[in-house]
Each structure stands twice: as structure tokens, then as C-alpha cells.
Homo-oligomer: A and B are copies of this chain.
Amino acid sequence: MAIIRNTIAKKAVFEIIQLNKTAMSQTEIFAKVNNICDRVTVYRILERLVKEVKIHKIVNINGVINYAPCNSCSHEQHLHHDHLHFSCTTCKKLTCIADNHIELNIPSNYQVAEVFLTVSGICPDCIIMA
């Protein structure tokens, strides 16, 4: 029903997310949009992009919500959970790692929607630093 508008701010936010290798929080994204819009607008744009399945929402292990592009993962793939998130405890970066197909063993009276698989640890960049 609703007509989707492609505004300047929305394009900017989407581009920032797409160009970044790791997932980003609203705070990080807002810092990069260079006052092109209000921080509330960033929240609302992110909400819309999620609804349009252009980006997806990932909760980091500290509870902060991050956003990553839906490039490699189609909606179906995402649903069939063959991708995983690595959360670095040192630099706090959240990275997508593909090719992880997992088998679940959930009682049939549960209705599964999405699978979130996050692994914490130290990423290659931070191991080198140590």
C-alpha cells in the first residue's frame, strides 16, 4: 500500500551499511552520516530498511543492535540459517561468516521463525595486535 520513498538520507544510510565490512550500530551509522539528518531519522530509516529486507538486524552479545547488508544472504538463506556472526570481544566488531549450516533439534510444538547464531571471541585483526 504505502509508497516507498528513496530519500537522500535513506540512500546515505544504506550506502554506509553496504560499504562497511562489519555490522554497525545506530550510533556508528549516525556518526557517519555527517549530520545529513537527525538521529531519530536514522532509527526510522533503519526500521524501514529492515522491513524492506535490504539490511538485517543482529543483536551483539552486549545487547547493542547492529545492522548489516543483506548481500550474500537472501531472505530464504537467512531463514535457513547458513550464516553466522562473529562478535569480537576486543574491538566489539560484528562480522558475518558464511557457510555455516546447522541442524536444530527443537520440539515440534515450537514454531521457528529465525535463527541467530553468534560466536564471541577474538577476531584475526585483534589476534595480530595481541
Residues of A within 8 A of B (CB): 59-65, 84, 86, 89, 97, 99-107, 109-124, 127
Taking a contact as CB atoms under 8 Å apart, the answer to whether A124 and B102 are in contact is no
Task: Tell me how many chains of this kind the complex includes.
Answer: 2
Taking a contact as CB atoms under 8 Å apart, the answer to whether B110 and A124 are in contact is yes
Q: Nearest Cβ distance between residue A61 and chain B, in whole angstroms? A: 6
Taking a contact as CB atoms under 8 Å apart, the answer to whether A109 and B127 are in contact is yes
Q: Nearest Cβ distance between residue A80 and chain B, in whole angstroms? A: 12
Neighbouring B residues of A84 by C-beta, 8 Å: 104, 106
A105→B59 CA distance, assembly (Å): 21
Neighbouring B residues of A107 by C-beta, 8 Å: 97, 124
Taking a contact as CB atoms under 8 Å apart, the answer to whether B99 and A102 are in contact is no
